[in-house]
Amino acid sequence: MENDVLLQLNGICKYFPGVRALHNVDFTLRSGEIHALMGENGAGKSTLIKVLTGVYTKDEGKVRIEGKEANIKSPQDAQNVGISTVYQEIALCPNLTVAENMFIGRGKGKITNWKKMNARTTELLTSLGIPATATQQLGSCSIAVQQMVAIARAVDMECKVLILDEPTSSLDENEVAKLFKLMRDLKAKGVGIIFVTHFLDQVYEVCDRITVLRDGQLVGEYVIQDLPRVQLVSKMLGKEFDEMSDIKTVDPEAEDIKVGTPVIECTGLQSDAGIKPFDFKIWKGEVNGFTGLLGSGRSECVRSIFGADKVIAGEVKIDGKPIKIKKPLDAMKAGIGYLPEDRKLDGIVYDLSVKDNIILAYQVMKGWNHPISKAKAEEFAQKYIELLEIKTASSETPIGQLSGGNQQKCILARWLLTDPKYLILDEPTRGIDIGTKVEIQKLALKLAKEEGKSVTFISSELDEMIRTCSRLIVMRDRKVVGELNESELTQNKIMETIAGGES
Amino acid sequence: MTQKVSTKKSGSFLETVVALTRKQFFIPIAALTILVLFNLIMDPSFFAIKLGTNSNGDPVLSGYLITILNNASELVILAIGMTLVTSASGGQDISVGSTIAIAGSVILRILCNRPITVANMLFAFLVAAIVSMIFGAFNGVLVAYFKIQPMIATLILFTAGRSIAAWINNNTLPVINDPTFAYFGNFIPGIPVPTPFFIAAICVIIITLVLKFTTLGLYSQAVGINPSSSRLNGIDPAKVKLITYIILGLCVAVVGLIKVSRISTINYSVVAKDIEMDAILAVALGGNSLGGGKFNMASSIMGAYIIQFLTTTLFKFKVESTALPAYKAIVVIILVVLSAPVVREKMSAFWKKVTSKSAKEAA
Amino acid sequence: MAKNAKATAVTAPKPSLAKRVRNMSDTNLLLTITITVFVLMYLSAILFLGSGFLKPQMFLNILNENAALIILSCAMSLVMITGGIDISVGTMTALVCMSCAVHLDYKGGNVFTALLIALAIGVGYGLVQGYLVAYLNIQPFIVSLAGMFFAKGATTIVNATQFNVENAQFQALKSKRIYVPGLGSTNKHGIYIPAYVEIGVIVALLVVIGLFVFLRWTKMGRSFYAVGGNAANASLLGINVKLTKFTAHMMCSVIASIGGFVYFMHVGSGSPSHAAGAEMNAIASSIIGGTMLSGGVGNIAGTFFGVLSLSTIKNIVSALGFDEAWWTNITVAAMLCLFLVIQSIVLKRKTNK
């Protein structure tokens, strides 16, 4: 297995304005191996993959395929040299049929042979056990089926290199098992597979080697047997691991928090985003969290509390008083703040200044005919720029020019300015640097302890949740499946609850 | 003079937003400079202003500059509404020409059977304003609630508007003979400056005050840049879009009044013809993105005057009015090409190359 | 079929009409709506407005009158499927008419060179608009708005007034009638009047068939749908998005110039006011024919029926006695509005379920 090198990357660099996304990264893929590409959010995995698939053009470095230098400038080029890719988000066309999605953009000739295409597709779908028909419009399939179709397409392309960029986040266990079987079959045929995932179990189940990236740089390449989990995690996190472990001191009064009327109490709450009705309580000064896999419905839960999705059943009480939340403004007026999961899409207003971004929510609460004066707005902006140490040239800089972490701090400032009783932080640390992550975690704890606010914290990273939250609500398949208190908060216990206690 | 008024007034409001967009003034100022220089070289008498008397013996100012100030008024008023619509909905309303015909038609319909008194004129204008705002709301609902692209949604009224206008007056062309009605589009006796200029100035002042004392500017920009985020911050994006279309409807009514007052009657198929093109051009020339988001009202208003400057210059050099669109189209294409992000990127890369090369050579 | 049912049963347990509608592709769903509407409309016209609508020549006249519009609408559908739009086709038609007219009568040219001029205008438009849209990423609406105004001005620069073409060769071509066997009728005096179509109709039908085949069976045609559906993903699937968009605009302009020439053959004159508002009719026909504005959905057959529906309703409106000119525009606008709203609602429902 050591002998034939299939793909070799040397000294890859990629810069974005103000950001060094990749610096001098080497990567080697041998034929017939499954190679995990690991790293935290923002480590540069996605960028590296996009360079390899021609979505981005590299600034420096060389890509060799089977010894020959390849100049990949577009996804077509990548396909032509034998690299096929399955992306985390479905990268297919929803308006075309399943069969077309499998075959479009590949093969020679100018004519589409529908009969042959549909026949081949049906064959593939049956052999992979995908519940879809060739002539069905892709958009009418479930997300998981769409993802399987994408995988089927990639597999059918007779590629040399197969890249799987977090393909499992929308798949259930059975589908994952199917995928792994497929991967092993391909491996036996000599295909090299690059596998990106957040699930450590999956890495140790199928992979042969691991390459770890951190902050856009190569940490190292390891054979899987030589790298126990704990080591892998510390490699991914880097030396800051120790610092992060002790930001929370055990609070002896923790048990006393859950007394009296909860600040927020939801019963049977359900939104149109497809979650099962759930109950939820949080007390003054408490930090709790929703956990579960991506797509388990944790964001949808908090979104329904905030009124971001349409609520179809259930009721919410604030300080014991029932309240109707139909739209976000109702929630805001009731003292709820929500830092959304997708910073780019739902958080920042890209072209507006840092100042306008900070005052936005407060301004909306004041009403359209009471604009905040220029001087006042500047004062607020300066206050939070100093308080949260937001690194920006001035309060007039468009927020889009800031780094991810500083953008997130601005959104945090936006909600702090509204002085909420209850603050929801949905993935506040995703894709930002470790220093800022720690700051945000500390801030969440401080808000609860010193200012008596209630905070709900959501993160994909379990240890982060364990460090910040005193109570976890565990979700699976869009349903609340358990609640863990302080004493039960261990990696294993949480994993077990997420997985359904089968192990 | 008008430029001064508008930039100064709006400047105070815009300072919150403007620090970075100051260079936005570059495009309109450069365009203005080119036009002024061109006219200075070709024929300096372009800039002469004479005080004469009109047929009624009242003092009036005349000259190309006055023509520009006068004729640009409609465009300035439309540019105000169009800027807001562009900002919030990321598209333009191409039905303004047709709805101006409707507004004008409504005014004439009401006035042709009534004595021309101040009360009646006010009544006619109010009805026209309500009708225009309803049509604006129609566009707005299609855009905001049915999520149809603005230009396609407004295509409906673009197609039907002039026909509706003709239908309102049963395809007759009512003529208002009372000279007081002509004041709005011409001169008020004793005042040598054309009235439309004052109407435009009033509109500019009103929108400045509105932007200063409400959060309309912030909201429409936020909605235009990121509707999803705006919603999560408590703004109702659909409502904001709808409001901008209704405001544009009001602007259209004012323009309709000026248009019918200028000639005391209306020609459904010709009135305000192609004005939507000029209004969109004014917004673009002001350096505002036609894709929505950030806007600079003062800059748009300046854009409107520059368009009229261009039109008047072309007229002066004997370009047929029917051929005008061809020249303007070329200006539009040059503008959009220059402001296209792809082109800008390439140009800045090119500049970097040139400067680094010259730096190397110097070293 | 059995396999089909079994497979879909996994994703959607309730089999019903609604489910079948859901599994239908958007393109076919909207096409079905269009054809249904057309048939219903034509039937009700026959029932309530008398037998005039029954005569084959009445139907063929719809084709004769609308041959150019059919071609323009097909051209429009092409760009709309890729998610673009081209509102310059109407005034471009006027420019083609005027240029050809001037060429034939004032410059002594022949019909063949006139056709070449028409095509050259189309190619020129395709090159500029295609480049600006595809490679410089400028909004198609703005680009073609400028194109529309350019043609409007350029037409009057070529010649400012209307005149009829007297070139003999052209007159012969213009008045050529192609008789359709078996569809004629006898008049009051018992004389058999054969049913006929103009040359333009044949061209239009060829364009419809050609484009139908192109969109259905060629890879480029399928890329149109992919790009319109999701341009970013189409690129990841290995489609050259820029080339696809460029091709769409190029084809649109060239086909529109052919449409312009057909229009010219029908009216036989040059005038700045020719084909005024044709772009609106073309867009309306495309939308009524089930082409989605947002791109990725549409069918040339639908567009064909869209044109027929539009002209049938115009005929109905005038048969009802609303024959003032403005009613036509208002009807077109109302129809456009109706179908836009239908599209918006139908597809929203579909995604929600």
Is residue A266 domain-shared with residue A229, that is, in the same domain? no
pLDDT, greater one: A274 or B156: B156
Is residue A223 domain-shared with residue A256, that is, in the same domain? no
Domain endpoint, select from A225, A242, A259? A242
Q: Is the pLDDT reported for residue A363 higher than 70?
A: yes
| Listed residue (C237, C218, C275) closest to C91, CA to CA | C275
Longest CA pairwise span in chain A (Å): 73
Task: Decide if A105 and C26 are in contact by the 8 Å CB cutoff.
Answer: no
pLDDT digits (tens, 9 = 90+) for A166-191: 887 667 777 888 889 888 988 998 89
Paired tokens of A477:
């398949």
> Are B88 and B223 contacting, i.e. CB atoms less than 8 angstroms apart?
yes
Q: Which of A87, A105, A133 sits opposite C7 (nearest CB)?
A: A133
pLDDT computed for residue B204 by the predictor = 97
**Beta strand ranges found along chain C (DSSP E):** 163-164, 177-186, 192-198, 269-270
Cβ-based contacts of A116 with chain C (< 8 Å): none
Domain endpoint, select from A242, A259, A285? A242
Instruction: Tell whether A149 is covered by a domain.
Output: yes
Q: Is A53 on the interface with C (CB under 8 A)?
A: yes
Integer Cα distance of B219 and B221 in angstroms? 5
pLDDT along chain C (353 residues), means of 10: 40 54 73 88 83 79 92 96 92 95 88 94 96 91 89 92 88 86 74 84 95 93 92 88 96 97 93 86 90 87 92 84 76 86 74 50
- Nearest-by-CA chain C residue for A157: C237
Residue C13 burial (CB count, 10 A): 8
Task: Decide if B221 and A396 are in contact by the 8 Å CB cutoff.
Answer: no
Instruction: Tell whether A350 is covered by a domain.
Output: no
- Residue type at A436 in one-letter notation: T
Paired tokens of A244:
């992060």
Cβ-based contacts of A111 with chain C (< 8 Å): 217-219
Q: What is the 3-state secondary structure (H, E, C) of A270-286?
A: EECCCCCCEEEEECCCC
Is residue A224 domain-shared with residue A280, that is, in the same domain? no
Q: Which domains does chain B have, with CATH numbers?
A: 2-318 (1.10.3470)
pLDDT digits (tens, 9 = 90+) for C86-109: 989 999 999 999 999 999 988 888
Integer Cα distance of B217 and B13 in angstroms? 10
Q: Which of A131, A132, A137 sits opposite C25 (nearest CB)?
A: A137
Instruction: Tell whether A39 is covered by a domain.
Output: yes
First to last CA, chain C: 23
Residue range(s) defining the domain that contains residue C348: 26-352
Q: Is the pLDDT reported for residue A240 higher than 50?
A: no
Task: Decide if B225 and A350 are in contact by the 8 Å CB cutoff.
Answer: yes
Cβ-based contacts of B228 with chain A (< 8 Å): 345-346
Instruction: Tell whether A229 is covered by a domain.
Output: yes
Cβ-based contacts of A125 with chain C (< 8 Å): 7
> Are C292 and C339 contacting, i.e. CB atoms less than 8 angstroms apart?
no
Paired tokens of B314:
């072309």
Instruction: Tell whether A217 is covered by a domain.
Output: yes
Distances (CA, A) of A150 to A68, A142, A167, B204, C286: 28, 12, 9, 55, 32
CATH number at residue A210: 3.40.50.300
Paired tokens of A280:
């939820």
| Listed residue (A172, A136, A175) closest to A152, CA to CA | A175
pLDDT computed for residue A41 by the predictor = 63
DSSP strand pairing (A264-271 vs A278-282): antiparallel
DSSP strand pairing (A471-476 vs C177-186): unpaired
pLDDT computed for residue C180 by the predictor = 81
Give B126's contacts (C-beta < 8 A, 6+ positions apart): none
Provide the shortest C-alpha distance from residue A126 to chain C (in Å). Answer: 10
| Listed residue (B94, B134, B136, B103) closest to B241, CA to CA | B136
- For chain C, how are helix, strand and coil distributed in percent, rounded to 5? 75, 5, 20
Count structural domains, chain A.
2
Is residue A190 domain-shared with residue A274, that is, in the same domain? no
Q: What is the pLDDT along chain B (363 residues), one digit of tens a residue?
A: 333 333 444 444 444 444 334 466 777 888 888 889 988 898 888 888 888 887 777 888 888 999 999 999 999 999 999 999 999 998 899 999 999 999 999 999 999 888 888 899 999 999 999 999 999 999 999 999 988 889 889 988 988 899 899 989 888 888 888 888 888 988 888 888 999 999 999 999 999 999 999 999 999 999 999 999 999 999 999 999 999 999 999 999 999 999 999 988 888 888 888 898 889 889 988 888 888 889 999 999 999 999 999 899 988 888 888 888 888 888 878 877 877 778 877 877 787 777 777 666 665
pLDDT computed for residue B295 by the predictor = 93
- Nearest-by-CA chain B residue for A325: B234
Does an H or E element contain B84, and which?
helix B64-89
Instruction: Tell whether C185 is covered by a domain.
Output: yes
Count how many pairs of residues, chain B against chain C, have C-beta atoms within 8 Å.
130
Instruction: Tell whether C10 is covered by a domain.
Output: no
The stretch A74-92 carries a mean pLDDT of: 86
Give B263's contacts (C-beta < 8 A, 6+ positions apart): B185
Is residue A157 domain-shared with residue A95, that is, in the same domain? yes
pLDDT, greater one: A158 or A29: A29
The number of CA neighbours under 13 Å toward the Cβ of B32 is: 18
> Are A307 and A476 contacting, i.e. CB atoms less than 8 angstroms apart?
no
Is residue A229 domain-shared with residue A270, that is, in the same domain? no
Instruction: Tell whether A359 is covered by a domain.
Output: no
pLDDT computed for residue B346 by the predictor = 81
Q: Which of A328, A377, A396 sits opposite B231 (nearest CB)?
A: A328
Instruction: Tell whether C226 is covered by a domain.
Output: yes
Backbone φ and ψ of C5, nearest 5°: -65, -40
Task: Decide if B155 and C283 are in contact by the 8 Å CB cutoff.
Answer: yes
pLDDT digits (tens, 9 = 90+) for C337-346: 888 888 887 7
- Residue type at B260 in one-letter notation: V
Q: Output b/e per residue, A13-38; b: 16+ Cβ within 10 A.
A: bbeeeeeebbbebebbbbbbbbbbbb
Cβ-based contacts of A100 with chain C (< 8 Å): 222, 225-226
Instruction: Kindly tell me the number of DSSP H helices and DSSP E strands found in chain C.
Output: 15, 4
Provide the shortest C-alpha distance from residue B211 to chain A (in Å). Answer: 9
Is residue A135 domain-shared with residue A217, that is, in the same domain? yes
Domain endpoint, select from A208, A242, A276? A242
Instruction: Tell whether C264 is covered by a domain.
Output: yes
Instruction: Tell whether C63 is covered by a domain.
Output: yes
B233: helix, strand or coil: coil
Instruction: Tell whether C34 is covered by a domain.
Output: yes
Is residue A28 domain-shared with residue A172, that is, in the same domain? yes
pLDDT computed for residue A42 by the predictor = 65
Q: Which of C8, C238, C297 sits opposite A95 (nearest CB)?
A: C297
Neighbouring subunits of B (3+ Cβ pairs under 8 A): A, C
Strand partners, A476: A479
Q: Which of B17, B20, B229 sits opposite A348 (nearest CB)?
A: B229
> Are C245 and C84 contacting, i.e. CB atoms less than 8 angstroms apart?
yes
Long-range contacts of A173-176 (CB under 8 A, 24+ apart): A175/A144, A175/A148, A176/A202
- Reported ipTM: the value is 0.82
Provide the shortest C-alpha distance from residue C207 to chain B (in Å). Answer: 25
CATH number at residue C117: 1.10.3470
Substitution target from C30, C236, C350 for chain A, most A beta carbons within 10 A? C236
Q: Is the pLDDT reported for residue A90 higher than 90?
A: no
Cβ-based contacts of C142 with chain B (< 8 Å): 280, 290, 332, 336
Q: Which of B213, B216, B234 sits opposite A365 (nearest CB)?
A: B234
Q: Is A273 on the interface with B (CB under 8 A)?
A: no
Task: Decide if B163 and C327 are in contact by the 8 Å CB cutoff.
Answer: yes
Instruction: Tell whether C110 is covered by a domain.
Output: yes
Interface of C with A (CB under 8 A): 3-4, 7-8, 10-11, 22-27, 216-223, 225-226, 228-230, 232-240, 296-297, 351
C339: helix, strand or coil: helix
Provide the shortest C-alpha distance from residue B223 to chain A (in Å). Answer: 9
Integer Cα distance of A95 and C80 in angstroms? 14
Cβ-based contacts of A346 with chain B (< 8 Å): 226, 228-229, 232
Task: Decide if B333 and C330 are in contact by the 8 Å CB cutoff.
Answer: no
Task: Decide if B234 and A361 are in contact by the 8 Å CB cutoff.
Answer: yes
Integer Cα distance of B355 and A111 in angstroms? 49
Instruction: Tell whether A259 is covered by a domain.
Output: yes
Q: Which of A93, A114, A133 sits opposite C226 (nearest CB)?
A: A93
Residue range(s) defining the domain that contains residue A461: 245-335+453-503
Distances (CA, A) of A359 to A339, B215, B233: 14, 12, 10
Integer Cα distance of C17 and B341 in angstroms? 48
Is residue A40 domain-shared with residue A149, that is, in the same domain? yes
The stretch A276-285 carries a mean pLDDT of: 90
Integer Cα distance of A266 and A293 in angstroms? 22
pLDDT computed for residue A256 by the predictor = 61
Q: What is the 3-state secondary structure (H, E, C) of A55-113?
A: CCCCCEEEEEECCEECCCCCHHHHHHCCEEEECCCCCCCCCCEHHHHHHCCCCCCCECC
Count structural domains, chain C.
1
DSSP state of B154: T
pLDDT computed for residue A400 by the predictor = 84
Query: Exposed (0-12), middle (13-18) or buried (19+): which is C235, by Cβ within 10 Å?
Result: buried
Integer Cα distance of B215 and A359 in angstroms? 12
pLDDT computed for residue B32 by the predictor = 86
Instruction: Tell whether A437 is covered by a domain.
Output: no
Provide the shortest C-alpha distance from residue A466 to chain B (in Å). Answer: 28
Is residue A65 domain-shared with residue A88, that is, in the same domain? yes
Is residue A236 domain-shared with residue A255, that is, in the same domain? no
Is residue A238 domain-shared with residue A321, that is, in the same domain? no
Residue C160 burial (CB count, 10 A): 13
Q: Which of B215, B228, B231 sits opposite A371 (nearest CB)?
A: B215
Q: Output b/e per residue, B312-339; b: 16+ Cβ within 10 A.
A: bbbeeeebeeebbbbbbbebbbebbeeb
